[in-house]
A and B are shown apart, each in its own frame.
Chain A
């Protein structure tokens, strides 16, 4: 199985900050990498699909990049409503696997 490693596990930042979350796959996943946002008590919501495609309705402050084994989610200007846990997810090969998540908090 492909292992997905996210860093950091917890990130504290201030409103307006540029925030970067990282995800590393144990092997090449050919950009089949999604990012999800999960708020407390809710289901994960798709933000970015296939590395850098913004899901419909998601604010443009969210963006994704990467290739091979290394991927990044960037929030250009952190907003209070962005407090959540963010998961990366590979759908290049079965079983599809998730990272353990980065918990984003307000400083």
Chain B
């Protein structure tokens, strides 16, 4: 069965970066795009960007350009999202989700940005 397993919660300091992971199993990793989504109480669910694991091609929501960088490691069927220059406004739960229609989601990872 399709599973997306995300890395654990992060507590990070302002101005630093964090790299989140999403390990896929139960399907052909390179045949399905992977998305990243941010969820906060205030802004709700926001699409961050998408990556084609086969080609490495990416597309970003303009709001997150320069903030998020998406990559993959095909050998381990893992997608990554690096968030840079972190501020308290980046504190959120981040999800990975498969395909253009977001059919399967990871369990989410809470990122807390605090000094």
Contact = CB atoms under 8 A, between A and B. Distances in A.
B101 A98 contact: no
A46 B103 contact: yes
B80 interface: no
Interface string B102-113: 111111100000
Contacts of B95: 43-44
Nearest to A94: B59
B106 A43 contact: yes
B45 interface: yes
A87 interface: yes
Interface of B: 35, 44-47, 59, 61-62, 95, 100-108
B80 to A, nearest CB: 18
Interface string A67-80: 00000000000000
A95 B61 contact: yes
B45 A49 contact: no
A43 B4 CA distance: 11
Contacts of B62: 95
Interface of A: 32, 34, 36, 42-46, 49-50, 55, 87, 89, 91, 94-101
A12 to B, nearest CB: 21
Contacts of A89: 45, 102
Given A34-B101, A91-B101, 20 more contacts: A34-B102, A36-B102, A43-B95, A43-B107, A44-B95, A44-B102, A44-B105, A46-B101, A87-B45, A89-B102, A94-B59, A95-B62, A96-B100, A96-B102, A98-B44, A98-B46, A98-B47, A99-B44, A100-B44, A101-B44
B103 A55 contact: yes
Contacts of B47: 95-98
A51 to B, nearest CB: 12
A41 to B, nearest CB: 9
B105 A43 contact: yes
A89 B99 CA distance: 14
Q: Which 4 A-B pairs have the closest CB atoms?
A: A98-B45, A43-B105, A95-B61, A96-B47
